[in-house]
Structure 1
């Protein structure tokens, strides 16, 4: 897996007030707290050297790391995307911007994508969709509010987060070995609070296993080399069993008034009981095994997913994630939107309208975050506050109805 915990940069775009307060409190904490952390660092040094990390590399990596990062612990405790409605997740991942930028990146990096497809057999649009979801085509790597010192982040989790302690220790040792190998120096070993790194967000152990030197400069640099990052993502999929030339799945229409079997059947068997493609076309490989996915039940979109869908889950073990990659890839390729949309309790805004809503929230003094067209916790809290002032139900939804009322003021 590219990561085994929620390390995607998109999960950072949230309200940071509590984390900032924690950071301020940490500065006023008595010195013994840092001393305890330093004792832990000293003990972990012995663990790292016994696992093949040189003492010199360890000392260089931990130079200046004198205390745990309180924001990392706050982010680890609060990951609302896991409980978000289905429509909210997809609305933030598949936008006019992500599709348009994907098509521009396809042109800009055409030669790299040609080479990636030839070497690994992974469709370029799948690779572009992963790049979008993981780091917004690299945009997130330039955000100082997001990018962190990997050594400090992972040592914080290994020191203070019992749930992630084992994971963080193994990733920290792997990160130190990346430094030792010379692919990146200490100042550029950066990533998310959970240790995911570079354009395509590999945790250190995934980097060790699947990262490739696609540009031929002798280093596997997923932070600065787009070819290395995209090639590494494709290599992960191919090494885990990606089938070149095969689809990830199809949107389907379900016949009314019948139940459906659990598990996998051939596409021919699904068609025999009335489950057909939403675009009316035939299934290209009728004998391929497929499983039905309905994230919102019968009233929402339905999909028959194939072997390559499960390969996307090797990157991130989530049905939502794999569907988002597949659907975004399809739209970048020009296949159009879903025939049956997600069920929202409001009228959805376009990407430009969402940016306009954020600007209007900011003008009213309710929002001071990025005007990025993505509705995260900070935007939702601002919407709730404004809805309350306007006498509307404070549901936090970025609705056409709210924007219309704001335009009338």
Structure 2
């Protein structure tokens, strides 16, 4: 039996050898290609990046401390290594777009609000001093802190220099990350933090407020008085830096972010957007009331407000203030800004979720929404680009098209409408 097995193995050896070589050769070729890219990276650091860093005021000592031991991280997303096949374009247009309600999971909101309220009480004196200086309410600051890093508890594992150097050298957006890498070098040059302390997300966003390096240079604040703006470890510095960011982006002292409202059925849902603002008094005269039935605050009545219907007639509706759009400077998303506003209200006032529920409309492919957007564009409507995401320009274009064609205005894409 043993001799028989040996004969079989010997007979199969050529085939096994060929299979092993077939498996090994692509790996070896890949390894050779990666080694070549690594050499190009070292040359890029020395011949390309270093001259620009020196011109920006970065010393050779700082440059070497930050980058001498940094290797490329091949596990990061959105890479485009030189000499490799071009990365396939993400099939974002094929991803499903669902009703916005999923963004506001009640269990998560309650947990963040409970923790945020406790932390707001613990840091009340610091937050009061910050609000006096920058005019941004404590609830908004704490809500952003919670959303961005779980109040500092989220893991921020990456070396900022590894992420930024890799993406500046071989990502799909190298110019963006090159700018941020140079900003990171300037942070170290100024002595704010050591390279080892600069931890970031996989996208290069740093510390508890999740600032990119350029935002750190513009907005980070030393509020605890230790001589450096430490957004990684210092709660006062983190909270003050968030407030400074919002204030510099235009936060209007004394104004709210917005109010959930009831829009009468006779009124078009297509009046959405900053360019169609009215005073809140005018919205009231047109029939819009607060969902609570209480009047709008007296100091808000003569100030501007904008209609916001993130799910058209299928969910909560709002009149928002310019401060809503300042929150969007932190993350350019209506849902993000609504998340922050609602979480801030829960933290500050103990309020709950939105009164009107988000209807479940099922899911549509983003490619379907993009098709709808292109159709509206051909008909002369400004949808803000056929990206498969129904922003306010798309929503109001839908409403205007529906009105023009004698249909009920819903201001939101559905599978039925696409058909």
Q: TM-score, normalising length from structure 2? A: 0.71
* 1:195-274 to 2 correspondences below 5 Å: 195-260=204-269, 261-262=271-272, 263-274=276-287
Structure 2 residue matching 1:73: 3-state secondary structure? coil
Structure 1 residue matching 2:319: 3-state secondary structure? strand
| Cα distance change of structure 1 residues 27 and 96 upon mapping to structure 2, 3 Å threshold | farther
| Cα distance change of structure 1 residues 63 and 291 upon mapping to structure 2, 3 Å threshold | same
State the Cα RMSD in Å: 2.6
**Displacement after TM superposition at 1:100 (Å):** 0.8
Query: Is 2:341 aligned against 1:326?
Result: yes
**Displacement after TM superposition at 1:91 (Å):** 2.3
Q: Is the radius of gyration larger for structure 1 or structure 2?
A: 2
Matched with 1:35 is 39
**Displacement after TM superposition at 1:35 (Å):** 1.2
| Cα distance change of structure 1 residues 134 and 45 upon mapping to structure 2, 3 Å threshold | same
Structure-1 separation of matches of 2:288 and 2:234: 43
Structure-1 separation of matches of 2:358 and 2:115: 23
Which structure 1 residue ranges, 5 or more long, are not aligned?
1-24, 347-409
Matched with 1:295 is 310
Structure-1 separation of matches of 2:74 and 2:144: 28
Name whichever of 166-175 and 102-111 sits farther off.
102-111
Structure-1 separation of matches of 2:233 and 2:279: 43
**Displacement after TM superposition at 1:128 (Å):** 0.6
CA contact (8 A) 1:38 1:66 kept: no
* 1:121-160 to 2 correspondences below 5 Å: 121-140=135-154, 143=155, 146-160=156-170
CA contact (8 A) 2:79 2:171 kept: no
**Displacement after TM superposition at 1:37 (Å):** 1.8
Matched with 1:176 is 185
Matched with 1:338 is 354
Deviation per residue, 1:86-137 (Å, 9 max, x gap):
2222328952211111111112222221221122111100001000111010
CA contact (8 A) 1:73 1:156 kept: no
Name whichever of 128-137 and 84-93 sits farther off.
84-93
* Counterpart selection for 2:320 from 305, 311, 320: 305
**Displacement after TM superposition at 1:239 (Å):** 2.0
Deviation per residue, 1:24-53 (Å, 9 max, x gap):
x89972222211222222221122112211
Deviation per residue, 1:327-381 (Å, 9 max, x gap):
11011121222111222369xxxxxxxxxxxxxxxxxxxxxxxxxxxxxxxxxxx
CA contact (8 A) 1:103 1:332 kept: yes
Structure-2 separation of matches of 1:103 and 1:171: 34
Which structure 2 residue ranges, 5 or more long, are not aligned?
1-26, 81-86, 363-419
Structure 2 residue matching 1:89: 3-state secondary structure? helix
Matched with 2:103 is 89
Structure 2 residue matching 1:139: 3-state secondary structure? coil
Structure 2 residue matching 1:88: 3-state secondary structure? helix
**Displacement after TM superposition at 1:323 (Å):** 1.2
